[in-house]
Structure 1
Amino acid sequence: MYSKAIIGYPRVGKLRELKFSTEKYFRGEESKEQLEAVAKSIREEQWILQKRKGIDFIPSNDFSFYDNMLDTIILLGAIPKEYKNLKVDMLDTYFAMARGYQGEKGDVKALPMKKWFNTNYHYIVPIIEDDMKFTCNVDNLVKYYKEALSLDIRTTPSIIGPFTFLKLARFNGKKGINDVCYDILNIYNEVLSKLVSLEVEVVQVHEPYLVMDLNEEDKELFTDLYTRLFTNSKSLKIVLQSYFGDIRDIYEEVCKLDFYGIGIDFIEGKQSLSLIKEKGFPKEKVLFAGIVNGKNIWRNDYSKTIELIREIENYADKIVLNTSCSLLHVPYTLDNETNLEEDKKKYFAFAEEKLGELEELSKILSGKEENLLVKNKELFKEGRIAEENKHIVLNEEDFNRKPSRKERKKIQKEFFKLPILPTTTIGSFPQTKDVKVIRKKYKQGEITSSEYDKEIKNYIKDVIKLQEDLDIDVLVHGEYERNDMVEYFGENLNGYLFTEKAWVQSYGTRCVKPPIIWGDITRIKPITVEYSKYAQSLTKKPVKGMLTGPVTILNWSFPREDISLRDMAFQIGGAIRDEVLDLEKAGIKIIQIDEAAIKEKLPLRKADWYTEYLDWAIKAFRLVHSKVEATTQIHTHMCYSEFKDIVKDIDNMDADVISFESSKSNLDIVEYLKQVNFETEVGPGVYDIHSPRVPSKKEIICLIKKLRENIDKEDLWINPDCGLKTRGEKETIESLRNMVKATKEIREVI
């Protein structure tokens, strides 16, 4: 039978055990030993499952307490000195880099965080300092390998490769990649030498950056790094894993290097098949063929996959069936989904089921158990959706708002009469245990709709008073009724399915439960109007209506595979447009339409940006607000996405105000906005909400002054960098108080 491999597996636990244990550790409610015990049980359970499912290349070190790039920082000893100076143990140093630290040992911000290629997963950005001394720390790598061996499971240790690490790192100083690459390579050599001493047979080295646009300098660097690496690790079989696309720019160079195996993505890699057909594949190497989708939850169509494998067999002699990327990006198992009807459930495959798909495909390809193929064919023959797809009929008028933004700005300044540097928040306020209990009771039928409504309105009343006491200028209702910024809207739209426990890690202990787009999307009834209208009735200050935009709803859902992303975006856009107009009728004059994930599905190769994404993504947002009045101010918000390259397209979304993360990004994007004459008013985040650390007034003043160097005072808003849902109440109040005080102090001198 064909051998089978996976690139990685979810690591928070079937029921988020690692999340809850880690958060208890943060609160001082669990010891390090208790946290380690939970983590070990998760690892062992996964290895045993993968062995039982017949996976031949079982990864170890794909586990992480927070993030694999952060693990690589520890592996290479690339720890900035401010974290070393805390003089806490390695685990707490690790978490300080992830979350920041504020206590008796010191006060440090967290390292930057960015989106992991074209996913909703976030990675910690390494910071390379000029005087940094790299050191090898293989403790976890060794521990995990030995743990598996104790279960009689020989794993393939998994590490992020030097090329991807260097390309994703930020260099703080005069040194660049070429100045440190060989120092880092020396550490990789030490790591591989340690694995050789443990009699490791195969190691997976992840180089997802190979699917990006690469220039000659990039190719020379990669080739040089691995040529040197192979010189010192000849007894180790190295599998190069690439994913999220094809490696067209460097395919020939990769094939010439001494890899034991090469992982190629045949799901998102548009040119992967043509590359091996036109350029061949080395006979002595093993092709790890990524043919089971690691990012979506629909069952594999065995007939199509088998046809693909038979085609690949013409060019590669040795093939291992592989996932297209890590299964980190899908939920654990369908076993947890007791409420999904069987006639729908049978169409899905989560991480555990994808292990089964690899096993079944191996059997079918080996001429065994033809009944598996017959059964799969019947599933795809049935026709999942009976109704025809609805296509919204649109014309250019649906995408163009009048009057122009320049004219609207004058009208809105006069209409709202807000102070210079208006303060606001991004939308959500801390979701306490009490709030979650109320929502759970309502969902389980333990309280009536009117009782639930009364409780939510009490929370809204309290948060409006809090914001008024803090003297914030533009208020929000707190979003206490919302479980998630996408799932909440999906629950009020036709065409969605929902899971109970299909959690996916977004970053650290933060997990999301993406809804599934099953059919055509239409709005059932007004979604946010009642609570927004109630909040506005409590204050004379403007209260923002809070919506999630169509592109983010799409990108943070598991999409259909039978119609285009464009069609789904426009269907969702039409539904959210109805909500915008109803909010406006209800007297809500500032409406924020969050597009936190606008860049998430942007193709990794620039040549595809406009033909495959931006041509409809920007239009989908414009569709939502094109019919509102000039006095209605449209805001949007974007999270951890580098969008310097598409900043003019973002300006073309035609919002009135945009807020975004900048507190941890050295304000690079802010400087660029000035260079390109960005027209939209902007609210760069002045402090990091992903950390419990409270910024001082002085710190925020310094940041606002830097912002003022590049943004006109008439165009600048002051706000945190994201929603406050995950933060504690005390730290939130202190942070916002400092933000408002800092803003008022700046106002007095401008």
Structure 2
Amino acid sequence: MTTTIIGFPRLGEFRELKFATEKYFRNEINESELQATAKELRRKHWQLVKESGVDEVVSNDFSLYDNLLDTAFLFNIIPSNVETSPLSSLEKFFALARGHQSETIDIKALPMKKWFNTNYHYLVPKFEKITKVKINSSKIFDEYQEAKALDIETRPVLIGPFTLLSLADFEEGISAKDFVNDLTIAYQDIFKELKVLGAQWIQLDEPSLVTDLSVEQKALFLDIYHNLLNDKQDLKILLQTYFGDVRDIYQDLIQLSIDAIGLDFVEGPKNISLLQTGFPADKKLYAGIINGKNIWRNQYQKSLAILQQLPTQNVVLNTSCSLLHVPFSIENEEFPVEVKKHFSYATEKLNELVELSEIVAGKSEKLEKNQALFQQERFTKDPKVEEKIASLTPESYIRQPAFEKRELLQRKEFQLPLLPTTTIGSFPQTKEVKQTRARFKKKEIDQKTYDQFIAQQIDNWLQWQEEIDLDVLVHGEFERNDMVEYFGQNLAGYLFSKNGWVQSYGTRGVKPPIIWGDIYRTAPITVKWSKYAQKQTNKWVKGMLTGPVTILNWSFPREDISLKESTLQIALAIQEEVLDLEKNGIRIIQIDEAALREKLPLRKNDWYSEYLDWAIPAFRLVHSKVQPQTQIHTHMCYSEFTDIIPAIDQMDADVISFEASRSNLEILDELKANHFKTQVGPGVYDIHSPRIPSTEEIKTTIDAILAKVPQEKIWINPDCGLKTRGIKETKASLQNMTAAAKFARKELLIHDKK
């Protein structure tokens, strides 16, 4: 069997793209220097894939920021205010990615959403009435030719038209149907140019096909592809899906005049039964059997069992999805050999594909070695953890008294003004903060020196928060490297990589910790600095925790037990931390569940039975034992929550803050429609952009919130934490936010008096 991948990580082995792009943002290098770095990374990655023995190499999977934004630029789906601006093409690209603010130009960034059920975030293109779809970029052609100049034949990758239209926004009065013809012609023009350049194949990624498809969506897909395939210029087409199965469209798919279909057998096991109803002999099957989202070694025997069930011999071994979602190489880690041998990053997954191909060809020694690996016990289970899980009862997940009684008690306890202001938790992690933490980790400074530094940071920011008159303060999280890793370092059962970076969005990389064994808390995690901060001020300071579902979803999970069991282990550990904070005088505690939606099944029928029925109770378990007067906050970002509002209300938090500014506060209508009981803090400005919103802009946003949510239910806060922002923009934005809240508060008081 031949082998291939869907895509490869692009940040670079040591995050070279991140650092070069950030230098470009700071004007430390020019565009040509940035592009040179990008070109060198592409060369390295293509040659790595080819030299691994993988047969089919892909191109155009690389991006300076986001592939969907690349696709929007390719087809001229650019907002008119950006298109007509005097910015260069690359400046327009980055303006839509992160905003642009100067004396004469003010561009807001595009909305950012989660890429299906992953921790990657894409930018949402918007079609306007005046959008003229046409080829507007040569990127896909340039990168194909780059590889060809290296004597590497590639299969260019492009997000397919159905997924592009499914994920895009549309100006009011227009819809996807209005752009089918022009988009079809533009894709055919791509085919034509690639064929002229000598390409043999193109990969059209259509992950939207694994979601629930309505009759209208199926009709749209078929209309697009029947027209598209009328003139494919003799270019062979691989229609690639991932993240699930194609049950709603399979019979139509196999009838299309495409040359290959890519299916995921890791997250889409139902694809096996679909195939067994018949698969065309004239098509190739690209079988996704190497997990592109987790870092454990592939168990070859299980993959071989899948291959044996496939009713065709015309199979190409593939990854289940792009390797974008895993780190670069295990060789850059310092784990002991006995640990390292269980892991497989992107580079190692290339080798797994090749080894599986060799095993299918009859080389049994590699299968035997793999079988021996999986016969070993990795770790010793902890019976105490098992006993705690077994002892949970339905009452363990219920907080008393009910929300309405708690709300009255808390209003009396905290005496906060109308529209109370706060932030989500973190403040800028400056170079000085990061360097000091690194020096402490390397034992270049002692505990006392480090503690003095952290205390000074907290003191400075507490004083500043008091100066601008924020109502509920935060300590800033200067001691924390990451909202998951920091907690994992005090939980048994976790391992931490040195270079396990994965792209989250743009230049943002995360380093997910690895759940190796049973989880329990080994020591208090946040009490020291939360207690210190509260003693420095007469205002309330929030304790800041990461919730169990987010800790699970932003880790590489075990594959030997269920996600539910792992999450409950984490929930019990975080419950201990909540109770310790409460005992030490912290009366407002925020338990972030930023990634609540991340593992939500892509099909609605599975939402509760496979996820929400245990994820929501796991959150409730964390705070079920606190006193009624203790106020529990949570925060959610980066995702679409409008369709799971009832489930979020069932979390039984007292206050929930949402990312909302990039999505134009769309969530508010759903809150109102569902009679949402929880107090809410919809983000009033976008922290993922360096632009500074004016007081007037934020006041307009607050007025929009007041039009949809009762005033006594509203909190005023930014979209998310501020660790990635600069000090200047952070302070200016928060000063404008508090000023806007005070203006709105004053107007409400005047109105109430009337």
TM-score (norm: length of structure 2): 0.98
| 2:576 counterpart residue number | 578
SS for the counterpart of 1:256 is coil
AA at the equivalent of 1:372? K
Q: Is contact 2:207–2:243 with CA below 8 Å preserved after alignment?
A: yes
1:748 and 2:746 are equivalent in the alignment: yes
Match of 2:110 in 1: 111
Match of 2:517 in 1: 519
Aligned 8 A contact 1:87 1:105 in 2: no
Q: How does 1:165-564 map to 2 (within 5 A)?
A: 165-277=164-276, 279-312=277-310, 315-337=311-333, 339-368=334-363, 370-387=364-381, 390-391=385-386, 392=389, 393-564=391-562
How far 1:387 moved relative to its partner? Answer: 2.4
CA offset at residue 138 of structure 1?
3.8
**Of the candidates 606, 611, 615, which is equivalent to residue 604 of structure 2?**
606
Amino acid at match of 1:706: A
Q: What is the CA–CA distance in structure 2 between the aligned matches of 1:572 and 1:204, rounded to whole Å?
A: 40
The answer as to whether partners of 2:623 and 2:632 remain within 8 angstroms in 1 is yes
Q: Aligned partners of 1:194 and 1:584: how far apart in 2?
A: 65
- 2:134–2:182: 8 Å Cα contact kept in structure 1? no
Q: Deviations over 1:494-545 (max 9, x none)?
A: 0000000110000000000000000000000100001000000111110000
Measured against aligned partners, the alpha-carbon deviations of 1:217-255 in whole angstroms (never above 9, x if no partner) come to 111111111111111114000001100000000001000
Deviations 1:647-677 (A, max 9, x none): 0010000000000111111211111111110
Partner secondary structure for residue 543 of structure 1 = strand
Other-structure match for 1:151: 150
Distance in 1 between residues matched to 2:681 and 2:717, nearest whole Å? 6
Per-residue deviation at 1:105? Answer: 4.4
Q: Provide the secondary structure at the position in 1 that maps to 2:675.
A: coil
User: Offset of 1:116 from its aligned partner?
Assistant: 0.3
Separation of aligned partners in 1, 2:162 and 2:302: 34
Deviations 1:315-361 (A, max 9, x none): 11300000000000000001110x21110100000000000000100
Instruction: Give the aligned residue type for 1:80.
Output: P
Task: Supply the AA of the counterpart residue of 1:308.
Answer: I
What is the CA distance between 1:610 and its match in structure 2?
0.9
In 2, are the aligned partners of 1:213 and 1:249 still within 8 Å (CA)? yes
Report deviation, 1:53. Answer: 1.0
Q: Deviations over 1:455-482 (max 9, x none)?
A: 1111111110111111110000000011
**CA displacement at 1:104 relative to structure 2:** 3.7
Report the equivalent of 2:122.
123
SS in 2 for 1:244: coil
Post-superposition CA distance 1:357-385 (Å, at most 9, x none): 001001110113x2111111110011222
Distance 2:469 2:186 in 1: 52
CA distance in 2, matches of 1:39, 1:699: 37
Q: Contact (CA 8 Å) 1:122, 1:506: kept in 2 or not?
A: yes
Match of 1:596 in 2: 594
- The answer (yes or no) to whether the contact 1:138–1:191 under 8 Å persists in 2 is no
Structure 1 residues without counterparts, runs of 5 or longer: none
Segment drifting more, 547-556 vs 100-109: 100-109
Superposed CA RMSD: 0.9
Q: Which moved more, 1:661-670 or 1:555-564?
A: 661-670
2:718 corresponds in structure 1 to: 720
Q: What are the superposed Cα offsets for residues 558-600 of structure 1, whole Å, 9 maximum, x if unpaired?
A: 0000001010010000000000000000000000000000000
Amino acid in the other structure paired with 1:237:
K
Give the distance between the partners of 1:287 and 1:135, measured in 2 at CA: 31
2:733 and 2:175 mapped to 1: Cα distance?
35
Deviation of 1:388 (Å): 5.5
Distance 1:683 1:413, change over 3 A: same
Q: Is the 8 A contact 2:192 2:233 kept in 1?
A: no
- The SS at the match of 2:379 is coil
The residue aligned with 1:640 is 638
Aligned residues: 744
Q: Secondary structure, in 3 states, of the residue corresponding to 2:286?
A: strand
TM superposition shift of 1:452: 1.1
Distance 1:415 1:127 in 2: 46
Which amino acid counterpart does residue 14 of structure 1 have in structure 2?
Answer: E
For 2:731 and 2:339, the matched residues in 1 are separated by 45
2:369 maps to amino acid: K
Residue deviations 1:376-418, cap 9 Å, x none? Answer: 1110011222326633120112100011111111111111000
Measure the CA separation in 1 of the matches of 2:286 and 2:377: 32
The amino acid that maps onto 1:24 is K
- The one-letter amino acid of 1:735's match is S
Q: Which runs of 4+ in 1 moved over 2 A?
A: 385-391
Residue pair 2:191, 2:233 contacting (<8 A) in 1 also: no
Q: Which amino acid aligns with 1:333?
A: S
Secondary structure of the 2:712 match is: helix
* Map of 2:83 onto structure 1: 84
- 1:205·1:239 contact (CA, 8 Å) conserved in 2? yes
Residue pair 2:475, 2:530 contacting (<8 A) in 1 also: yes
Q: Which moved more, 1:258-267 or 1:187-196?
A: 187-196
Task: Report the secondary structure of 2:520's partner residue.
Answer: strand
Please tell me whether the aligned partners of residues 205 and 238 of structure 1 are also in contact (alpha carbons under 8 angstroms): yes
User: Following the alignment from structure 2 to structure 1, what is the Cα–Cα distance between the partners of residues 512 and 42?
Assistant: 24
* Deviation by residue 1:266-312 (Cα, 9 ceiling, x = unmatched): 000030111111x2111110000000000000000011111211221
Of all paired residues, the percent bearing the same amino acid is 56
Q: What is the rounded CA distance, in whole Å, between the counterparts of 2:109 and 2:220 in structure 1?
A: 30
Give the corresponding residue for 1:624: 622
**Is residue 204–residue 238 contact of structure 1 (8 Å, CA) maintained in 2?**
yes
Matched, 1:135 2:134: yes
Shift of 1:181: 1.9
Do the aligned residues in 2 keep the contact of 1:86 with 1:105 (CA within 8 Å)? no
Between stretches 175-184 and 355-364, larger displacement belongs to 175-184
SS in 2 for 1:749: helix
Q: Which amino acid aligns with 2:574?
A: I
User: Following the alignment from structure 1 to structure 2, what is the Cα–Cα distance between the partners of residues 388 and 188?
Assistant: 56
Aligned equivalents of 2:22, 2:408: Cα separation in 1: 47
Question: How many angstroms apart in 2 are the aligned matches of 1:365 and 1:317?
Answer: 12
Provide the rounded CA distance (Å) in 2 between the counterparts of 1:138 and 1:747: 48
